[in-house]
Chains A and B, each alone.
Chain A
Amino acid sequence: MNFRIIAYFMGWILEVEAASMVIPMILSIALGESDVWPWFLLLILIIAPLGFFLTRKRFRKGNFYVREGYAATGLGWLLLSAVGALPFFLSRRMPDYIDCLFETASGFTTTGSSVLSDIEALGKGLLFWRSFTHWLGGMGVLVLILAILPMSGGYHMQLMKAESPGPSVSKLVPRVMDTAKTLYLIYIVLTVTMILLYWISGMPLYDAVCIGFGTAGTGGFGVRNSGMADYSRASQILITIFMYLFGVNFNFYYLLSRRKFKDAFKMEEVRVYVGIILVNIIIVTLVTWRFSYRDEGLLYSLHHSAFTIGSLMSTTGFATVDFDAWPEIARLMMILLMFTGACAGSTGGGLKVSRLLLLFKEARKELHMLIHPQSVRPIKLEGKVVEHSVMRSASNYIIIYIMIFVAAFLIISIDGYDFTTNFSAVAATFNNIGPGLGKVGPTLNYSIYSPASKLVLTFCMLAGRLELLPMVMLLYPKTWTKHY
């Protein structure tokens, strides 16, 4: 393990974090939150020089391999959350550091699970910071660093692989730096358009920006205690649309921007994504109309079903209604959608549509092989043959996923809450959704859990966001030994 390289990247992460704290600080100063902004300032003054010091020491080229890439990603996100939690803690508006850590990790991993019952009490400066972590974590901090930092050699592709979601990460253009820039450009353009539209639809500007960050990163933090229920029908429809859009693979937008419309609409993953959405909307709309919203009518039911499905499938986690009160079949479908998640290469979490698609095809192949034992049947995705190594890692992903899930589920069950609550809490944090069911439902929060359980759920959020391996690797002893 080359610690100098890791220190170098930690330095850059601190720099990025310091830079992104500037806006909430200015906002705090403008609003006169005198118990908040001095802490922001102090933090910036500490971490910016520290980061600068760490990045001065250039590492020698060629000592940067997969292992360093993954370790740097895992540690980087831990550092990001640990430092990002400090403004909440130091300002005493959230007295418990573990709560702050949970909240910040939930922000950066775009989960959106909260331990706060009274959000508005945080103040606008801290709320802005909380929402901004969604935006930064959505596309990824290391991707941002790759976009601004010129590096030679191909090994830093590992950083991007470790941070970007999906079974196989491909570049859009030949160079990593250009790819990262392109991704951020698409991201920024979409975000700005969305914020403007929110604003026009009648949201206050501050809300539009914060909700915009939450939607873009598929996070789910709001700025009001009432969640999304207060906003106008038009705003809610816009949020619904953009939640779906940010769950789409960014390759799709890249192809659109290159005017390759045919290729874009041919993308198998996007088609399946849309298919799942439509089927779910139809079923859930009918079910909720029949059993829950008899009086409000079909349109009302369609509106809230579409919103909730978009919110859960894109792993955002906004809520307009308490879906925990829906009929059992609809509740269960919501849980399943949490696991499905968004497309690979989007800002969403979950297992990812393309990975499930691969596993489905693998299962179908297994059946096919029973009937034609000698047949040769390669698995294809997007019209291309999927390599064996990708298939293997997709299957192993599920195995590790289940193991972590079970372990986390067992540990938090010590706290003594019911099955639905615990199961949905792990599912909602591990898949980066936000609200679960039962005692952690959309109208409630995670403050009921003990500090130990909160740490476990924090680990789940980070592992879920980074596609398991970077976090699991940190726990693997051989990662840290010199003799290998």
Chain B
Amino acid sequence: MNIIIIGCGKIGLALAEQLNNEGHRITLIDKNETLLQAACSKLDVMGLSGNGAVFSVLSEAGIEKCDVLIAVTGSDEVNMLCCLLGKRARDLHTIARIRNPEYEDEIRYLQDQIGISMVINPERMVAHEILHLLRFPSATEVETFGKGLVDMIHIRMPENSPLCGVKLRDLGRTIAFPVLISVIERNSEVIIPSGNTELRANDEISFISRPSDAVRFCKLCKLEYNASRSAFIVGGGRIAYYIGRYNKNSRTKCQFKLIETNQERAQTYAETFDDITVIHADGSNKQLLIEEGIENTDAFVAITGYDEVNVMMSLMVDKLTDARIVTKVNRLDPSDVESVIPMSSIVSPKTVTADEVVRYVRALESSKDSEFESLYSIAGGKAEAMEFTVNNDPSIVNIPFSTLSLKPNVLVAAIIRGQEIISPGGSDCMKPGDSVVIITTLRGVNDLQDIMK
């Protein structure tokens, strides 16, 4: 597909990289030529310097043949204007980054009026992810499928777990509920496991199960499973705002302590959120953290605007307490940071956003016989988990898996039929209307046909 990306910042670049790897033709527009040059020497994309909200620039970028326009400049208003212009020029799909919380309440109205197909708000997505992680403290990541029916959870096997050394084939005998181990990452190698694969200590595993069963499975693995009741947040940016906002509406509330260095901001947060304790201080001050009771808190969330500060704080806090640690990185590659601070969960706005957009673009591409629902990249992007809705395609439906020939490195992890979840065996088959969760290390899978031989 022809894609125009306006804004060559961190997110624009991450998007260009992902979409380029999927084989799309990408034109990047930015005013800053240095950024463009860096991007063009690294990626197979075309750079165009100029203002993306000017029609002649869009026209030079080939708007008349463009399929998707993505506006991710630093300014929400410019992004909206770009989408408006793009939409007027041609009936295309537009994606805009709009992150100012003030627009948040009217976002549907704006979307309709301007004709934006999809709004992305990285900070909001990250806030969601952080809350999700806090609710599930052992997991380094939690993804949901089937509209919340199934979770895919990433955990690290503890040393003392009774499940170490158990072969996956025998797992069913040990536990009475359906759990499917979908991906194992061992020594930075990604394995799509078979029945003979053995679980080992310190494996990073991703498993799929019902949310309620997930807790039981974690208990079995001897992992702590209680949701965090209290947490420190350092850095009062937009993410903190969205965390506070969603925590207010959530059932399982968490007691937050927000540490912010800017007096004015601290004041604003204190005014906006009654249930958050706001502390005006430097979050990297060890003495202060101890004074405020870091040793007794369940979680520590480092979300200042500086990657280095976040990583350093996480390293320091790890020495002070065994609280759960969440670290946000903007610029750095999440998988690199993960190798430095393995005890922490890493959240990265650009990865979250890029995943979301790639998911959308793939859904546009997928043909009629199956519909693309969701996509998550796992194990640092080495594998992907995808959900499809099965339509009535005679070459796929009602054929038992034992006779379907799938490509290697593809795992059909779960079938969601109504409220029921099936861990598929050889005699099971897909039926129209099912949701199917696929795990694969292949690239560019857009519909169910792509996993067939």
Contacts and interface: CB of A to CB of B under 8 A. Distances in A.
Interface size class of A (residues with CB under 8 A): 10 to 19
Nearest to A156: B44
A173 B25 contact: yes
A393 to B, nearest CB: 13
A174 B21 contact: no
Contacts of B45: 154, 174-175
B25 A178 contact: yes
Contacts of B2: 174
Contact of A157 (B21, B27, B41): B41
Interface string A163-177: 000000001011111
A171 B27 CA distance: 11
A174 B45 CA distance: 5
B43 interface: yes
B40 A154 contact: yes
B337 interface: no
A152 interface: yes
B44 A176 contact: yes
A153 B25 contact: no
Contacts of A177: 44
B41 A174 contact: no
B46 A171 contact: yes
Interface string A130-158: 00000000000000000000011111110
Given A171-B46, A174-B46, A157 B40 contact: yes
B33 interface: yes
B46 A154 contact: no
B42 to A, nearest CB: 5
A175 B33 contact: no
B357 interface: no
A387 B25 contact: no
Contacts of A154: 20, 40-45
A154 B45 CA distance: 7
Contacts of B42: 153-155
Given A154-B45, A174-B27, A175-B44, A387 B21 contact: no
Contacts of A155: 41-42
Contacts, number: 39
B40 A387 contact: no
A408 B182 CA distance: 66
B26 interface: yes
Interface residues of B, number: 14
A175 B25 contact: yes
Most B CB within 10 A of own CB, among A66, A156, A171: A171
Contacts of B46: 171, 173-175
Interface string A370-405: 000000000000000001000000000000000000
A157 B42 CA distance: 9
A433 to B, nearest CB: 33
Contacts of B40: 154, 157
A174 B44 contact: yes
A381 B21 CA distance: 33
Nearest to B2: A174
Contacts of A178: 25
Nearest to B39: A154
Given A173-B25, A174-B26, A157 B33 contact: no
Nearest to A161: B41
Contact of B25 (A66, A151, A174): A174
A173 B61 CA distance: 9
Nearest to B60: A263
Interface in B11-26: 20-21, 25-26
Given A171-B46, A174-B26, A178-B25, A387 B41 contact: no
B53 to A, nearest CB: 19
Contacts of A157: 40-41, 44
Contacts of A175: 25, 44-46
Interface string B321-334: 00000000000000
A171 B37 CA distance: 13
A154 B2 CA distance: 17
B31 to A, nearest CB: 12
Contacts of B25: 173-175, 178
Nearest to B46: A174
B33 A153 contact: no
A181 to B, nearest CB: 12
Contact of A153 (B26, B27, B44): B44
Nearest to A177: B44
A152 B27 contact: no
Interface in A168-201: 171, 173-178
Nearest to B28: A174
A66 B26 CA distance: 22
Interface string A330-356: 000000000000000000000000000
B20 to A, nearest CB: 8
Contacts of A152: 20-21, 44
Contact of B33 (A156, A171, A174, A387): A387
Interface string B41-63: 11111100000000000000000
A440 B132 CA distance: 80
A175, A176, A178 interface centre (most CB from chain B within 10 Å): A175
A175 B47 CA distance: 11
Which 5 pairs across A and B sit closest by C-beta, in order of nearness?
A174-B46, A154-B43, A174-B25, A154-B44, A171-B46
Given A171-B46, A174-B44, A174-B45, 13 more contacts: A151-B44, A153-B43, A154-B40, A154-B45, A155-B41, A155-B42, A156-B44, A157-B40, A173-B25, A174-B25, A174-B27, A175-B25, A175-B44
Interface of B: 2, 20-21, 25-27, 33, 40-46
24 contacts: A66-B41, A151-B44, A152-B21, A153-B42, A153-B43, A154-B20, A154-B40, A154-B43, A154-B45, A155-B41, A155-B42, A157-B40, A157-B41, A157-B44, A171-B46, A173-B46, A174-B26, A174-B27, A174-B45, A175-B25, A175-B44, A176-B44, A177-B44, A387-B33
